[in-house]
Amino acid sequence: MENLKEQIEIERENIISLKKEIEKKIIGQEDMVRKILIGILTGNHILLEGLPGLAKSLTVNTLAQTLGLKFARIQFTPDLLPSDIIGTEIYNEKTGDFYTKKGPIFANIVLADEINRAPAKVQSALLEAMQEKQITIASETFKLDRPFIVLATQNPIEQDGTYPLPEAQQDRFLMKVKIEYPTKAEEKDMLKLLTSVSDFDSIQINEILNKDKIEKIKQIIREIHIDEKLMDYILDIVFKTRETNNYIACGASPRASIALVVSAKANAFLEGRDYVIPQDIKRVIFDVLRHRMILTYEAEAEGKKAEDIITDILEIVELP
């Protein structure tokens, strides 16, 4: 375990440097950055929910630069077609042949902006790529480059003309992260930054990690120890969501248990530990569970949210 701890300390220095690079452009939003990092460092997709103007796109783009990864942004709209995302075959009149034009999904980090604004067929094309890690265009299959991470956003307020993600599709995302407004102090620092530089876009962001280092960190995270008692604690929580009552119509799937273990290990890594503690689980539990539970009409009528149910469960289930 000593060797693992040494590796964690070395790689954590890289993470600290990475965060410093991000802070050149992003003020605050530490929780969002942490959760996105957990997704990328474990090879999982993240759903970001927040109002426009909270630096979601800028954060993802800046993070991609620090990781040395190819970034693509897809703006989802009602008239978007699956071929606009994955690509299509195009006929060349001069040669009489067809050639493949790959879509923006052929990137390492794909920002699916306002994913709930596109029809189900388009959402399905993206989610199939997320699951299979490959794309079929006409009769040819292309494997997507690794890592392949989808960071999807949605606006919680404007629901007119949207196509909400079905629960089964939301379950594919490791976490659903709610983006909050910055604090007054953070917004003041943001104003100072944006009004003191002549060209914000020209701020140099240095590459800290690369694909090989990310793969190495993924392996380190897998090796982080989680006590069996903490695994039982996670299972007790997830199984509690399946006890249907006045508020819960459908509980979390086994993916939730897996996601909690993976996310807790990644959080332990970011804290510089080679073992998981209860606080790691509590740090990620709301993000992992909130989109995996279907609440009853009674819960909605009483203004109960998934977070309220999770809080109640945490009070019932005893820590080991």
pLDDT by position in tens, the chain (length 320) = 458 989 999 999 999 999 999 988 998 889 999 999 999 999 999 999 998 888 888 899 899 999 999 999 999 999 999 999 999 988 888 887 888 889 999 999 999 999 988 888 888 888 888 988 998 888 888 999 989 999 999 988 766 678 888 777 888 999 999 999 989 999 999 898 888 887 888 888 999 999 999 999 999 999 999 999 999 999 999 999 998 788 999 999 999 999 999 999 999 999 999 999 999 999 999 999 999 999 999 988 998 999 999 999 999 999 88
Number of folded domains that form the chain: 2
* Pure H helices in 242-304: 254-270, 278-289, 297-301
Contact criterion met (CB below 8 Å) for 46 and 32 = no
Return the SS3 of 140: strand
Same domain? 77 vs 202: yes
The answer to whether residues 96 and 6 belong to one domain is yes
- What are the angstrom distances between the C-alpha of 57 and each of 109, 137, 151? 11, 28, 10
Q: Which of 307, 292, 306, 216 is nearest to 258 (CA)?
A: 292
Asked if residue 142 lies in contact with residue 134, where contact means CB atoms within 8 angstroms, the answer is: yes
Looking at 167, 195, 215, the residue that finishes a domain is 215
Provide the token pair at 255: 């993916």
Domain match, 8 and 47 both = yes
Show the domain range for 260. 224-319
d(CA 101, CA 66): 28
Q: Are 172 and 127 in contact (CB under 8 A)?
A: yes
CA 166 to chain centre: 17
Residues 191 and 311 in one domain: no
β-bridge mates for residue 111, sequence order: 73, 151
